[in-house]
Amino acid sequence: MSTPSDGPRPNEFDDRDRTIAAEQGLRARGESHNAERGLLYRWLSLAFQDPARGHAIPLMDPALQEACRAAAEALRAFLRPDNGDRARGEVPLVRLDMLPSLDLLPTDSQVLIERYDELFGLLLSRDCPPYETEYCPQTFSVYRSHQLADIAGFYHAFGLEPSRTNPERADHVALELEFMSWLILKDEHARDSGSHDRTHAQVCRDAQQRFLADHLLWWTPAFAFAMRQKTDGISEESELSSPPESFYGATAQLLAAFMRAERLYFGIPPPQRLITPNPSDERPESTACEGCELLAQ
């Protein structure tokens, strides 16, 4: 996505990348954890982007790795005790741990490219598609296009516009995670700008909660489970907490734990069922936002 010239940008790798939450007091205290949340969203977004486009480079940066490791540890401690209702496909907060991903991350970017292609394929993967609308029970293109348009509306409302150089569908998991990172950066930017921007900061926080409830939490546990099935060979939900055997398996487990943390943080009720991928041969109609500069580099 291209972004306005003022304020923080979501795709700049620099120093800005630095119990139950239904209670208002926890969310208020949790504002100090925005930086940690933003870092994990950034890491996960990078991890789900095609490494052939150069996105493996920041993943291998020791400074980012250490910052994300510390961020996960801080959030894990902040959200204890883990006594909320667990949605199907989620994993315990003890799995909110960067070490498995870091230990299993290939040091050779070419190996990571090969693993990515094996998982997601050169064409749309039917086993674990990384697109939200491929999990919709309804296969009608009009319905899925409506979902895409709603996602694009969120992006546009916060200053993110379509890429013309290398477009990607708005519902790609990497873009949705990047968007959450962008909202957190804007939230922090508004809070740092003084009391007159507190209203804008609240708008960013409300948008985080709405986007999570409408466009991340309902399908990412199923996506993570499908990834574990393909990469680590698990077959039952009871195996989700088993040690991952691959980088993408570890990343899927991290995503499932982080989405649980975010759901508890915002006090969002757990989804009632674990859906399965439901790819349609009928492609959604074009939307106003088909991709981001994030994936154009």
Q: For residue 7, is it within any domain? A: no
> What is the span of the domain harbouring residue 140?
24-295
Residue 248 or 16, more confident: 248
Residues with Cβ within 8 Å of 63's Cβ and at least 6 positions away in sequence, in order, are none
pLDDT surpassing 70 at residue 26? no
User: Residue 286: what pLDDT?
Assistant: 44
Q: For residue 240, is it within any domain? A: yes
CATH number at residue 223: 1.10.3480.10
Q: For residue 13, is it within any domain? A: no
Judge whether 207 and 266 are in contact, CB under 8 Å. no
Q: For residue 15, is it within any domain? A: no
Q: Which of the four pLDDT bands, split at 50, 70 and 90, describes residue 46? A: very high
Q: Which of the four pLDDT bands, split at 50, 70 and 90, describes residue 201? A: confident
**Of 200, 216, 219, nearest to 159 (Cα)?**
200
User: Residue 294: what pLDDT?
Assistant: 44
Q: For residue 105, is it within any domain? A: yes
Q: For residue 16, is it within any domain? A: no
Q: For residue 19, is it within any domain? A: no
Q: What is the pLDDT of residues 77-133, one digit of tens each?
A: 988 766 667 788 899 999 999 999 999 999 999 999 999 999 998 777 788 999 999
C-alpha of 232 from chain center: 20
Number of structural domains in the chain: 1
Task: Give the whole-angstrom CA distance, residue 25 versus residue 34.
Answer: 15
Task: Give the whole-angstrom CA distance, residue 162 versus residue 287.
Answer: 10
User: Residue 83: what pLDDT?
Assistant: 67
User: Residue 178: what pLDDT?
Assistant: 95
Q: For residue 3, is it within any domain? A: no
User: Residue 136: what pLDDT?
Assistant: 87
Q: 156-178 burial, b if ≥16 CB within 10 A, otherwise e?
A: eebbbbbbeeeebbbbbbbbbbb
